[in-house]
Amino acid sequence: MTSNTDKSATSVSLDTVFTPPTRQQWIEMAVAGQSDSQSDMDALHKLRRTTLEGIPLEVLYDSASHTVDLGVDSGVLEWDNRVCVSLSEGTLPSRANACVLQGLQGGATSIELHVNDATQIPACLAGAQLDLAPISFRSNNDYAQCRDTLVAYATDQGHEPHTMRCAFNADPIGIALASRLSPDTTVKSISNEVATMATFAKDNAQKLPQCTSVLVDTAVHHNAGASTVEEIHAALATATLYLEAMLEAGISMKDACDQIVFQVAMDADILLGVAKLRAIRALWQRVSSSMNDTATPAHPANIVAETSQRFGSLLEPWNNHLRNLAASTAAALGGANTLLVHPHDVLQRDNASFDTELGDRMARNIAIILERECSLLTVRDPMAGSYAIENLTRQLMQYAWESLASTDTGEGWLDELFSGRWQTRLTHTHRQRVTLMDQEQRIAVGVNRFIQTDEATFTAAANTSHAASSMLTAVRDATTFEPGTHQESKP
Q: Give yes or no: residues 279 and 370 share one domain.
A: yes
Is residue 379 included in any domain, yes or no?
yes
Q: Give yes or no: residues 386 and 477 share one domain.
A: no
Q: What is the model's pLDDT at position 28?
A: 83
| Neighbouring residues of 160: CB distance < 8 A, sequence distance ≥ 6 | none
Is residue 147 included in any domain, yes or no?
yes
Return the axis-axis angle of helices 410-418 and 421-438, rounded to nearest 10°: 60
Q: What is the model's pLDDT at position 486?
A: 47
Q: What is the model's pLDDT at position 418?
A: 87
Q: Give yes or no: residues 336 and 437 share one domain.
A: no
Enumerate residue ranges in the chain where pLDDT < 70: 1-17, 35-37, 65-66, 71-76, 89, 181-185, 293-298, 351-353, 452-470, 484-491
- The boundaries of the domain holding residue 476 are 420-481
Q: Give yes or no: residues 384 and 431 share one domain.
A: no
The dihedrals phi and psi of 104, each to the nearest 5 degrees, come to -65, -40
DSSP state of 481: G
Q: What is the model's pLDDT at position 385?
A: 87
Is residue 452 included in any domain, yes or no?
yes
Is residue 413 included in any domain, yes or no?
no
Q: Find the CATH number of the domain harbouring 274.
A: 3.20.20.240
* Type of residue at 220: V
Count of CA atoms in the C-beta half-sphere (13 A) of 266: 39
Q: Give yes or no: residues 116 and 226 share one domain.
A: yes
Q: Give yes or no: residues 157 and 291 share one domain.
A: yes
Q: Give yes or no: residues 321 and 431 share one domain.
A: no
Is residue 207 included in any domain, yes or no?
yes
User: For residue 430, how many other CB atoms are within 10 A of its CB?
Assistant: 22
Q: Give yes or no: residues 166 and 232 share one domain.
A: yes
User: How many domains does the chain contain in total?
Assistant: 2
Which of residues 364, 380, 404 is at a domain's end? 404
The tens digit of pLDDT for each residue in 231-259 reads 999 999 999 999 999 999 999 999 999 99
Q: Give yes or no: residues 383 and 440 share one domain.
A: no
Greatest extent of the chain over all pairs of C-alpha atoms, in Å: 89
The tens digit of pLDDT for each residue in 422-434 reads 999 999 999 999 9
What is the Cα 36 distance to its own chain's centre? 43
Is residue 167 included in any domain, yes or no?
yes
Is residue 109 included in any domain, yes or no?
yes
Q: What is the pTM of this model?
A: 0.89
State how far the Cα of 57 lies from the Cα of 95, in Å rounded to an integer. Answer: 46
Q: Give yes or no: residues 94 and 211 share one domain.
A: yes
Is residue 155 included in any domain, yes or no?
yes
Q: What is the model's pLDDT at position 71?
A: 67
Q: How buried is residue 482: exposed, middle or buried, by Cβ count under 10 Å (0-12/13-18/19+)?
A: buried
Q: What is the model's pLDDT at position 24?
A: 86
Parallel, antiparallel, or unpaired for β 303-307 and 212-217?
unpaired
Q: Give yes or no: residues 292 and 194 share one domain.
A: yes
Q: What is the model's pLDDT at position 74?
A: 55
Q: Give yes or no: residues 398 and 448 share one domain.
A: no
